[in-house]
Amino acid sequence: MANILVYIDTPAGEEPTKAQRELLALAAALGTPVAAVAAGSADAAAGLGAYGVTTAYTSAGDLDGLLVAGKAAFVAAAARAADAAAVLLPNTGEGKEIAARVGIKLSSGVITDATGIAPDLTVTKPVLAGSYTVAARAVHGIPVVTVKSNSVDPAEPGAGTAHVVELEAGEPGPAARITGTAAKPASGRPALQEARIVVAGGRGVDGDFGPVEELADALGAAVGASRAATDAGWIGHEAQVGQTGTTVSPQLYISAGISGAIQQKAGMQTSTVIVAVNKDEDAPVFEIADFGVVGDLATVLPQAAAEIRRRRGE
């Protein structure tokens, strides 16, 4: 079976994240998973064997100091070493940038925002803010595909150890140096892009994300926001959902105090179920909501959170 290379970036813990396990599951469905592991210990790389990875490539050089170029050279080298039939990466900002450069290095077609890959390597993806679904193929080289989270079920661990191979990635070429990093404070909530449920607040929260966070925690959800809320400084920019923020596609998106501007919809309208709470019955968000409440989020959200806790017997 053909080797399918999965790019595994910085493992926060030593275990692969849910998004990484989704990529591994997809690779296993398409062929034999192999991995390009950009960071972490050799033990963690070997541990990917539990997810069916036969060979895990690690980098001989440090990849963290340079922006994108070093990682792209490493992934291209791993694809060549594995004679990979496809390369899968996460659909994050950095994932797309690495894919872009790997595509040029391997003279290969790059497809972003994938939600599915068929056995013949045809890729399904939404375009134009989710208004169309297209099937696309790489017609030159091998497909280099960035895959959206929540597209497939994550791989479950079994037994097995991957063979770890250290690779010399070669010259990355001119690159920017990373001179400082400020990790975002851990919230204890799931990552926005990976979350099964997202509760998002907009200008309507009027400075207080309390009700949004309370409902999110009752549901085990991630917290999102409109640009109006992040621009106001009520919550960090990393929470922004939309065209210029994160694109999410959770099973449930609860929109509270958000009008539903086109740039906001672009980031959430492929969610499976959309619930909207807005005090203006003419808010455009109601046009795409499966369930809408015309009301004040400051009372509706806490009531819902309390009801969820009550039903769970808390």
Ligand X SMILES: Cc1cc2nc3c(=O)[nH]c(=O)nc-3n(C[C@H](O)[C@H](O)[C@H](O)COP(=O)(O)OP(=O)(O)OC[C@H]3O[C@@H](n4cnc5c(N)ncnc54)[C@H](O)[C@@H]3O)c2cc1C
Q: How many residues lie near other proteins (CB under 8 A)?
A: 93
The amino acid at 144: V
**Residue closest to 276 by CA, chosen among 289, 261, 262:** 289
**Residue closest to 19 by CA, chosen among 103, 111, 97, 95:** 95
Residue 34: alpha-carbon gap to chain centroid: 20
Least Å distance between CB 55 and other proteins? 26
User: Binding of other proteins at residue 135 (CB under 8 A)?
Assistant: yes
Q: Which member of 130, 201, 202, 257 binds other proteins (CB under 8 A)? A: 130
User: Binding of ligand X at residue 296 (CB under 6 A)?
Assistant: yes
User: Binding of ligand X at residue 278 (CB under 6 A)?
Assistant: yes
Site for ligand X in 227-256 (CB under 6 A): 227-229, 240-245
Choose one: 22-30, 51-59, 132-140, 159-167; the region binding other proteins (CB under 8 A): 132-140
Least Å distance between CB 168 and other proteins? 20
**What end-to-end distance do the CA atoms of the chain give, in Å?**
50
CB 22 within 8 A of CB 137: no
* Collapsed DSSP state (helix, strand, coil) of residue 190: coil
Residue 203 marked ligand-binding? yes
Backbone angles phi, psi at 277, to 5 degrees: -125, 120
CB 89 within 8 A of CB 146: yes
User: Binding of other proteins at residue 115 (CB under 8 A)?
Assistant: no
User: Binding of other proteins at residue 217 (CB under 8 A)?
Assistant: no
User: Binding of ligand X at residue 265 (CB under 6 A)?
Assistant: no
User: Binding of ligand X at residue 259 (CB under 6 A)?
Assistant: yes
Least Å distance between CB 1 and ligand X? 40
Q: Which member of 41, 176, 210, 280 binds other proteins (CB under 8 A)? A: 176
The string of DSSP letters for 51-77 reads GT-SEEEEESS--TTBSSHHHHHHHHH
Residue placing its CB nearer to ligand X in the complex, 150 or 226: 226
Backbone angles phi, psi at 124, to 5 degrees: -105, 135
User: Binding of other proteins at residue 97 (CB under 8 A)?
Assistant: yes
| Token pair of 34 as six digits | 């192999």
Place of tokens 């003279």: 107
**Annotated binding-site members for FAD:** 203, 226-227, 240-244, 278
The site for ligand X (CB under 6 A) is made up of 202-204, 226-229, 240-245, 257-259, 261, 263-264, 267, 277-280, 283, 296-298
